[in-house]
Structure 1
């Protein structure tokens, strides 16, 4: 298996990187590199620029307006975005609901929803988790009852990322109670301006408002906003995972953050700290190993073979690596990584402590944010069970 990039792939990497360098707003890149808070306008400005280039839906096939890139090209695009300091592409529209609409939506639904996602004009959020139904998503209780030409939705979603900015939500709801719990779930598209929807912000340890509780009180949803068949939503939700096989590892972001970590070490004059350098070296080895694992999956995918079904393993390793580099960053900064007043930080004041560096001011926010990476997307404990039941059992069956 050849894991080296071809000449054509290197040319692609160079041309994509050049475009990103020329078009990424400098103020946004500066915020990303400094770990500062991004506002909706920051995300949306970049999304619209990508949309104008036809790259916001960079994983989309040509027939739906995407660039038709293969798995390697998508990986290289993500790499160049991360290294340039571009914001993460908010995945809920272009990378999550759009593939579901393409695969299971009606032609009318595709014409209605895909253009706004591709342009970056319409924002989506994901309505999956509920109180008591996070990793065990099949136990969700938000109900949707069919009444004529619409559904009436009642219930609650929680940890709903960026729902305060969302125009629409794709939502798993319970429409049936017969048989297995997974058999009674449906996939609805819900206009967030619908009467009866209430949002309550959840403030996190870093003071940010990234996630929300969302309450549905007799919310009417037109029946033509049901994706696919009623009670088949679990199938569509699982389809999403196939689009997260490698991106869930966040390997390209980890490579960019490793460079930032090394710069922090140089700025702090700690390059002779043997224990610290050993820890960074061990982290770099693990990042490289994960990168090679991702490339193995991509190589199999582009060559037409069935890729390794190791999304759970990639998620485990990627989330643990994220926590490790944020821990090392606050270790490097020491007391200067203590939480700082957000308003002062955004005004450009790194603090009054002698020896403080502006780059230290946001490290605690990154550390706090990384605590959730081993929980969201399915907790790592659940992911390890999946690895044991699928990957390891498959290896036993094949004598591996």
Structure 2
């Protein structure tokens, strides 16, 4: 089945041997695999500077649970923080625990917790909103200006032995959904939220710009929502080959030169074989957004998912004249139950996306982030704690 997708393109990296360095670091408490003595976490201290150090947890509130982390993925925003100490307008100004794609096992529950018990496997939604502002009250809590989001400065993340989190943001996993799949609910939620915003259905023909992790989960979500034809575009032939094996109906390799947009739009339209109803820009550059705006049919939609540039120059006037709706997304809301259901029923299989695995040691942490930062064959890098 899809188990052979990776072939020579990617490989699963699992470190199985303890090096002398790891044994020495564990003897003094640095990089302990299980945090036998105290809770440990990966702290971002500076540009490309990570260190496993103690992490003190807040007291357990009546509606909180303590979770022992088991699976944590590396996101593109984590890589931006790692490389630049910032992601868009979110700037790391002091040491911060990194990570937000996560799943684990309940170890302790607050006095008022009713839906979870010790031993439950859960996936964690990382954003805690205020619940009081008009956006929260209207159900758009992902836009809350006071949201505290794991691993987004100044809020500490989840690449740790244990974390404390509200009960209502921890979602119990069915027996046939693994902890790694549970951690993948976070990136998958981006694709699900985008498809909801764009109203993807069995009559929607879809174009996706970008075959990175978010482009791929958006493709998987669009298929689960019923999209009958999906064309995916990228500059990297390896990523495109991966997307084809994962289920794309057609793949197209393009250049990074914005002067090529007109010719590439013709190629994309021909590959679709019919009008493009919805385009997802999962990259977010002048070139990719201009391509989607030109390729999408009149009266269609373009959903901006990726935020590669903070400002763009795109053909808005011709777009307005063709009545193309431009919509954006920011993270997600109310997606975890549907993501888990997609995984439980097999409508979506995220396992092939996990191409590299690492353990919770200082050496592995450094190698994992370098691997993710280099891109290439790495789609989703996952820690097994």
* TM-score bracket relative to the smaller structure: under 0.3
More strand by share: 2
More helix by share: 1
Alignment TM-score, normalising by the size of structure 2:
0.24
Max radius of gyration: which structure?
A: 1
Larger relative contact order (Cα-Cα within 8 Å, sequence gap ≥ 6): 2
